[in-house]
A and B are shown apart, each in its own frame.
Chain A
């Protein structure tokens, strides 16, 4: 997918088991600096586990994960904290802190992670909220007062607030109506272009994947079974990919429900 020196994220032969259940069975993939990789795959294919292994929220059983050339699986907690400072993350359910107002959610990484004072952090937070189409008065609300789409936008503002080099998106459009999903997709593309960030997104929404991605990889049963530029996905000649992108029940991918 890319030459060694230009790789921002690289996973080599990553395995992860939970008890007897093997979730990742030798994942190999890489993302070039400034590029956007979207990992597609059905529920339970290992997408979220892959993302959490890169973030360091889960430790892989075997394999190597390099971020900006540094091996992350053997990092000390201090080194990991330093690496995390260059990450931004939009969670599936936004994962906003209920106990804090919206602006403090956006400014959290700036205050706690970078040690900015509250006044300066709030100015940046308001600017980032404006960047995702939210007015400053939204900053004073509690996350519980926001709609799902607004929560996602606040989550996006929080992800870009510290201007990270790498941004992860976990199912950014799940649970949103098609119009709001497209708004979020546009915002993601714009914000990422502004920052020049490298991104890794996991989704099963093909419309989102086509809009966000430079490259697409498909994960099936814990392995990457196809990867390439998004323009090639319709000519993948891979029956698994074709079944997935067409959303067909017939094909080699068998859902658990059919075996019952």
Chain B
């Protein structure tokens, strides 16, 4: 019978080795972002793919979530005659948490997998080796544009998602729950603070970086043909999801942990 401590030890060491490999990859990627050449055309292309193409899925997610949230808060609040808190709670929940987290997760599902699949296919068909033989650094040409584009684009996407999420709450709140439209907007505006928006944008930027990093890391290091690319795609999405949720917790504790 295998020794359970040996199994735990092996898993722990293998996790440490993976963290080390990701850290090395991140360091190499950051260095390639800073040092020229910078491929602006690739960055713009990636911004289009990540931002514009993700807009429908992120927008719809935010709209439905904001609407459902308003309904739930109304039901919960009505137990204490506190239906008027709906706009305030909706805007804080959307801007601080649900906008960036759900937006990040939706984009991770779309973009991390696509990046891993594309880079993985390039790896197994020797296109990445071909880049090297053509005097082109794959980190600068492939990884850096994805990281820059995702880090810039996610905050914009999340900003739009936040607005649409609040709009979802407004539509349900005023159309179905009988809240006054002008009061709804006034309360939303009163509850929203600058720090909420800033933390939302910071989270989105970090999530964007994580999404591109995980997609690139797993795709770049994939091996073993079509099966390897499939595995890289799955690993990219799963690791992006977990890392986004962990990063969200850390940022939330740092930004709001001391708030009364």
Contact = CB atoms under 8 A, between A and B. Distances in A.
A binds B: yes
Interface of A: 52, 55-57, 81, 84-85, 87-89, 91-93, 95-98, 108-109, 112-114, 158, 168
Given A93-B125, A95-B125, A112 B135 contact: yes
A57 B132 CA distance: 8
B130 A95 contact: yes
Nearest to A155: B130
18 contacts: A52-B129, A81-B137, A84-B133, A85-B135, A87-B133, A91-B126, A93-B126, A95-B129, A96-B130, A97-B122, A98-B121, A98-B127, A108-B136, A112-B135, A112-B141, A113-B135, A158-B134, A168-B133
Contacts of B137: 81
Nearest to A108: B134
A95 B126 contact: yes
Closest 6 CB pairs of A and B: A113-B135, A109-B134, A95-B130, A95-B126, A89-B133, A112-B136
A87 B130 CA distance: 11
Interface of chain A, main secondary structure: mixed
A18 to B, nearest CB: 11
Contacts of B130: 89, 91, 95-97
A168 B134 CA distance: 12
A87 B131 CA distance: 12
Interface of B: 121-122, 125-127, 129-130, 132-137, 141
B135 A55 contact: no
Contacts of A81: 135, 137
B211 to A, nearest CB: 20
Contacts of A85: 135
B31 to A, nearest CB: 11
Q: Report which residue of B121, B130, B134, B141 has the largest number of chain A beta carbons within 10 angstroms of its beta carbon.
A: B134
Given A89-B133, A95-B125, A158-B134, 13 more contacts: A52-B129, A55-B129, A57-B129, A93-B125, A95-B129, A96-B127, A96-B130, A97-B122, A98-B122, A108-B134, A112-B134, A112-B136, A113-B134
A83 B132 CA distance: 11
Nearest to B134: A109
Nearest to A82: B135
Q: Report which residue of A57, A96, A97, A112 has the largest number of chain B beta carbons within 10 angstroms of its beta carbon.
A: A112
A87 B132 CA distance: 11
Contacts of A158: 134
A56 to B, nearest CB: 7
Contacts of A114: 135
Contacts of B134: 84, 108-109, 112-113, 158
Contact of B127 (A88, A97, A112, A113): A97
Contacts of B125: 93, 95
Contacts of B126: 91-93, 95
